[in-house]
Amino acid sequence: MRGWAVTAEMTLRDMVGRRSVLLLLVLVPLVFYAARREDFQGQAIRFASLGLAWAVSTVSLFSASSARPLEPRLRLAGLGTAGLFLGRLTSTVGLGVVVAGLYSLLITADQETVHPWSAVLALAASASVAAALGLLVGALVPRELEGMLVLITVIGLQMIVDPAQRLAELLPLWSTRELVGHAVDGEGDVTAAVTHWVAYGVGMAVVALVLTAVRLRRRRHVVRVDASVAR
């Protein structure tokens, strides 16, 4: 895990250096929330969660893309693949969870819910799954534009697909919908939602880590000889 802390720090510094991105990260879910606030309650919370997922996954994708040319050199310098990946994951999840915390406060104050903690969990699930999704897409698709189109497809599909369809459950943000349902109507399987959240979050992170490890692998044609003898 060599390099985990410094990579997490640099990922945060990179994001803090993009002030307009930070602003949009906070505002995008608000736009989604405000657009459906006058509808029945569940829709506003659900759309805030999906807006959060959209914003966090995009930030995560661009964070992965911007580090892509730098990572082979950092690996060559001696940092570990796991450290590079988990450092980035920690920062993107952390940033997403902070924004989720802000929206938890807003929703708790502004909406009447049967189970407020389920709404909080829904937002946390959105942020963390979206961070892993962005890194996975970034690992799978090296170019930002193509990656963005993949994200639009996945999250857009989650928004429009009929929740009764089997496809809805196969998509990464199904847990959010289920938790929002539990928060608003008292309906929804919290255990299944949390299981789905953990399985998809961890699963996507592991696949992204494996892809990153393959990309940054030590090539077998290079024979490294210890030159610790004094020059």
Partner 1 sequence: MPEHVARRPPAPPAPGREAPPSGGLAVRSVTKRYGRRPVLTDVSFTVPAGRSLAIVGANGCGKSTLLKICAGLVSPDSGTVEVHGPVGYCPQEMGLDGHLTSADHLAWFGRATGMSRRAAVERGGRIAEALDWRIPPRLQVRHLSGGTRQKLNVTAAMLADPHVVLLDEPYQGFDHGSYLDFWDLVSRWCDEGCAVVVVTHMLHELGRVDDVLDLSGTEVA
Residues that bind partner 1 (CB under 8 A): 2-3, 6-7, 10, 13-15, 17-18, 66-67, 69-70, 72-74, 76-79, 218-229, 231
Smaller CB separation from partner 1, 126 or 212: 212
Distance between CA 86 and CA 53 in Å, rounded?
A: 19
Answer whether 152's CB lies under 8 Å from 166's CB. Answer: no
Kindly list the distances between the CA atom of residue 95 and the CA atoms of 21, 148, 210, in Å, as whole numbers in the listed order. Answer: 12, 20, 23
Task: Give 226's DSSP letter.
Answer: -
Contacting residues for 194 by C-beta, under 8 A, at least 6 apart: 121, 125, 175
Smaller CB separation from partner 1, 71 or 178: 71
Least distance in angstroms from the C-beta of 142 to partner 1: 14
Distance between CA 228 and CA 231 in Å, rounded?
A: 8
Least distance in angstroms from the C-beta of 220 to partner 1: 8
Smaller CB separation from partner 1, 16 or 31: 16
Least distance in angstroms from the C-beta of 217 to partner 1: 9
Smaller CB separation from partner 1, 11 or 176: 11
Least distance in angstroms from the C-beta of 178 to partner 1: 36
SS3 187: coil
The label of the residue with tokens 């999906």 reads 50
Give which of 100, 15, 113, 114 is closest to 53, Cα–Cα.
Answer: 100
Least distance in angstroms from the C-beta of 32 to partner 1: 26
Least distance in angstroms from the C-beta of 7 to partner 1: 7
Give which of 31, 30, 99 is closest to 59, Cα–Cα.
Answer: 99
The first and second tokens of residue 132, run together, are 């892993």
Smaller CB separation from partner 1, 20 or 191: 20
